[in-house]
Amino acid sequence: MNTTIEAVLYNSAIADGLDYPFDTFKVSKFKEATAKRSLTKEDIRRIMDCEVQMLTKYPKPFLQLAKDLFLFSYLSCGINLTDILHIRYADIVDGRLVEKAGNVQTGNVGNAAGSCRSSTSIKDRTA
């Protein structure tokens, strides 16, 4: 149901004297902070060095593809899979990948255009 319609119905019910269904139910923010979960450089190095063909008895070509896509995303400042799938040669300018986050096909990118602006090289990220 549309949130606006829900609000109108609830407000109308309250105005008619019906009990508000959420008087006893309160939503609050979690008091505990979420533990940070991130990969270390050593974790990334282990993924890079992993021979995925050796992980299973039978060949699984998608394991290598998954590894390659993950590493490309990581080394490209976290570019998401949808944007990876839309990369064209025209997106490489002066040897850099210029990311256009959003719907690349229609050009609806808003102000989300950017590029990986790291002061460290890819080699430095995994060293």
pLDDT along the chain (127 residues), means of 10: 70 73 61 81 94 84 92 90 89 81 42 45 53
pTM exceeds 0.75, yes or no? no
Which pLDDT score, from 0 to 100, does residue 103 have?
43
Domain ranges of the chain: 3-126
Which pLDDT score, from 0 to 100, does residue 45 have?
96
Ranges assigned E (strand) in the chain: 92-93, 96-100, 113-115
- Over its C-alpha atoms, the chain yields an Rg (Å, rounded) of 24
Strand partners, 45: none
Which pLDDT score, from 0 to 100, does residue 41 have?
93
Which pLDDT score, from 0 to 100, does residue 9 have?
75
